[in-house]
Structure formats: structure tokens, C-alpha cells
Structure 1
Amino acid sequence: MSDDSDWVSIFDAQRTYNYFIVASSIMVVYDWALTFGREVDLLWVSAEHSPENDRTETVNSGQMQHWSLMTLLYFSVRYIGILYTATMILGFFPIVPLTDIVSTIILQILVWTDVVIDIMLRVILIVRLYAMYQRSRKILIFLIATSMALTIVCGALIVVLSSRLSGDALVIFGTHMCVNSGYDRLLSAEAWIISTAWEVLALCLAAWIAVKHFRELRLRQKGWAFKDSFKVLMRSHIFYFAGFVAVAFFTLGDALSPNWSEPALAGVLKIALAVQMFVLGPRLILSLREFNAELVVNSDAGTGLTTMAFQEGVLVSSGGNE
């Protein structure tokens, strides 16, 4: 292989991009390690109050908790994220030897993992909104129908994108590299525009019902725990939405401007995507579980707080003085 300037630029660009791949992987694993203790307490074992039981009854901390839909979604998003980052390192870390076929398989896995995680995150948002709207059948049907329609359109775009995608295994200066070939940035941007429409809709629906409940509870002396639960829901939703907007911004910039194809900007996009899916996504569930656990502790201490259990699509009041 000749040592001309083209190969040197490819080598430097890929090496810079690899640094961001490693950085995004470290961030995902670090966040998992940071929250693992809370994950065990709030999700692996039953440490929260059971609304079906007596107000002061708690489940033995050593007893395994019944895994609800939200718990399964949390574990799926969290641990698929760790496998996702490991796959990225396998595909882009310069020491691992690859063939063209293996490179293509790795790229296809990454693309379709994005799709699966996006669907899971949509389900999480649907359940949260269903809970915020007090199990309204109309809002559930509307959310499911809208999400399915957008998912079908996005899926069709990803199928086309995936059919054109292939990986080329290169060895430059003794370093193994996996390079994308046939990746259509415009198709990716179109899929993200559709996903952005869903996220904006979800945020608007969440904000509207939160404002509505705040107005209803503003003059009340009681029910403030229910109000605080909406604050927790909105705060985590806004952080998640901000992460999504950052990813959409960089994706559109990458599709519409050649300057955005620089390895540093592509690396920032990869970090933003990992944080949005595998850090902020699981925290949509974990943040409310933490809030519920704090209310249970205060209630058990005799403060008379009302606990709000986020269970299978409803905010459940379980005790207290309302």
C-alpha cells in the first residue's frame, strides 16, 4: 500500500473517530457503573411499597421483584447499550482484524440496534404518557397508532439504507480499519426528521397535561406529592428530549453540509447518540423509581406523604393524607 496523502488522511480521520467511539463507550459503561447500586435496589430487588398491600407494608428487601414492562424495558435498553458499545469497539478499534463480510455484519448490527432501541424508547414514552393521562384509552390508542405509523415509515427508510450499506476492511500502515461504504446520510436524516416529529409530539402532550395538573393542584393544600411526580416526569423528559434534539441536529448537519463529515463532528454525533439512547433513555425509568422510593421512605418514617407508584402505565396513589 502506498504512503500517499490520501491514505494518510483516511488513517488520521479514522483514528480520530475511533477516539470518540472509545469515549462514547466509556460514558455508557461509566453511567451504568454509577447507577448500578440504585438499579439493584430499585429494579433487581423489591424495595418499593406495594400499593395492593397495607399502607405500611413493605416487601422483604431480599425478595426478587416482579418484573413489569418498564423493568424489562429498562434492562433491555441498558444492557443492549453495553453490548452496542462493545460491538462498536470491535468494529472500529484499530487492533481487531476484520474482513469485509464481518465489517458489513457489524455495521448492520449497529444500524438495526438503533432501530430496536428507538422502538423501546417510544414504548417507554407511551407508557409514561399513558400514566400521566390517568390511563386514558383515547390517548393510548392515539399514541400507539401514531407511533406505529411513524415506525413503519422509518423502518422502510432504514431497510433501504441498510440494503445499500456495506463495510470495507482496510489495513493502513498495519492498522485494521472498518470503513462505511454506501451509507446514505440523506436517508438517515429523513428518518431522524420523522423521529423528531414523534419526540416533539410526546413532549407537547407531556407538557400540556403537566400544566393542566399544576393548575388544578395549585390552590390545594394536599396532593403535592402527585404534583412532584409530574415534575420528576417532566424533568427527565426534558433532559431526554434535549439529548434527542442534539442527535437530530448533528445528524441533519452531517447530511446537509459536507463540513459536518469531519471525523471530530461525526464523533460528537456518536457520543450524543450513545448518551441519548443508553444514558438518558434508562433514566426515564430510573428517575421516577428513585422518586417513588424516597416517598416510601418518608411515608414509613411517619411524615404522611402519599406515595406515587409508576406501575404498568398509571400513577397510583398508595397511602398518605389526601
Structure 2
Amino acid sequence: MSPAEIKDDMLAEFVQDLAYARCASAASLALVLYDYSITIATEIRYMWKREGTLGTCLYLLLRYLGILTTGLQAIVLFRLDLTPEVCHGYLYAQGILIESVISLSQITLIIRLYAVYNRSRYILLFFTAIGFSS
């Protein structure tokens, strides 16, 4: 193969991978928005009208950070006019958003395990150490 053919093959593979990423992103966004649309009434009734507890705050943060992250990814993947600076900023923001969602998920899981195990401090320390060492 000549170098030109290799470049053409790489470009074709990139375009195909981009198409797959766009399809996956569109499907993810559709699923997230569908979930949001069928649960918003219940969420308003039970979450928005209660006091701001730690559980409520974690739930709402995780829910809306997930929607924001998925929506932002879809916007970036389908836009063709983005500058390198915008793409760099998006990658930075995406990293922060994803790490935030992962950390908040770990905190939520640790709190739930702590409650399930009768508020055992050993369980709390054990799962906190495991959760944040990863």
C-alpha cells in the first residue's frame, strides 16, 4: 500500500468511527431525555417539594449533571464548525463533568452502604477508602 492509500484508509476509518460515535450519542441523549420525560412529574412531587437533604441534593446533582454531560457531548459531536479552542474547552469540561458524576455516584453508594450496614463506621471507612483509592 502506498502512503496515500493508508491515509485514505485511516480517513475512512475515522469517518466511520465518528458516525458510530454520533449514533451512540444520539441514542444516549434520546434515552436520557425519555427517562427525564417519564419521571419529571414524580420528581417534582417527591424531590423538589421536600427539604434539601443530602440525599435530595445528591440525587438532583447526579440527575442533572448526567443530562448536561450527555447533551453537551451530543452538541459537540454534531457540530462541524467548532474551533480547536472550543474543542479543547469541551474536552476539559467533559473531564470535569465525568469525574464529578463518578465521584458523586461513589459518595451516594457509600452513603447507601453505610445505611444498609446499620451505620457501621468500619463499613463507612472501608468503602470510603476503596471508593476514593480507585
The structure carrying a bigger helix percent of its residues is 2
1:97 aligns to what SS in structure 2?
Answer: coil
In 2, distance between residues paired with 1:108 and 1:22?
A: 21
Confirm whether residue 25 of structure 1 aligns to residue 9 of structure 2: no
Confirm whether residue 44 of structure 1 aligns to residue 32 of structure 2: no
Confirm whether residue 101 of structure 1 aligns to residue 85 of structure 2: yes
Contact 2:114 2:123 in 1 (8 A): yes
In 1, distance between residues paired with 2:21 and 2:125?
A: 42
Q: Deviations over 1:193-217 (max 9, x none)?
A: x4xxxxxxxxxxxxxxxxxxxxxxx
Cα RMSD of the aligned pairs, angstroms, is 2.1
2:97 alignment counterpart: 113
Percent identical among aligned pairs is: 30
The residue type paired with residue 82 of structure 1 is I
In 2, distance between residues paired with 1:13 and 1:115?
A: 24
Q: Deviations over 1:56-115 (max 9, x none)?
A: xxxxxxxxx11111110111011111111121022211x441111211221222222221
Runs of 4+ with deviation above 6 angstroms: none
Could you tell me which runs of 5 or more consecutive residues in structure 1 were left unpaired when the two chains were aligned. 46-64, 151-193, 195-322
Q: RCO (CA 8 Å, sep 6+): is it higher in 1 or 2?
A: 1
For residues 96 and 135 of structure 1, do their structure 2 counterparts lie closer, same or farther at Cα, with a shift above 3 Å needed? same
Q: Taking structure 2 as the reference length, what is the TM-score of the superposition?
A: 0.84
1:119 aligns to what SS in structure 2?
Answer: helix
For residues 67 and 13 of structure 1, do their structure 2 counterparts lie closer, same or farther at Cα, with a shift above 3 Å needed? same
Confirm whether residue 126 of structure 1 aligns to residue 130 of structure 2: no
Contact 1:130 1:140 in 2 (8 A): yes
Confirm whether residue 13 of structure 1 aligns to residue 17 of structure 2: yes
2:38 alignment counterpart: 34
Contact 1:90 1:96 in 2 (8 A): no
Confirm whether residue 88 of structure 1 aligns to residue 73 of structure 2: yes
Q: Which has the larger radius of gyration?
A: 1
Q: Deviations over 1:176-233 (max 9, x none)?
A: xxxxxxxxxxxxxxxxxx4xxxxxxxxxxxxxxxxxxxxxxxxxxxxxxxxxxxxxxx
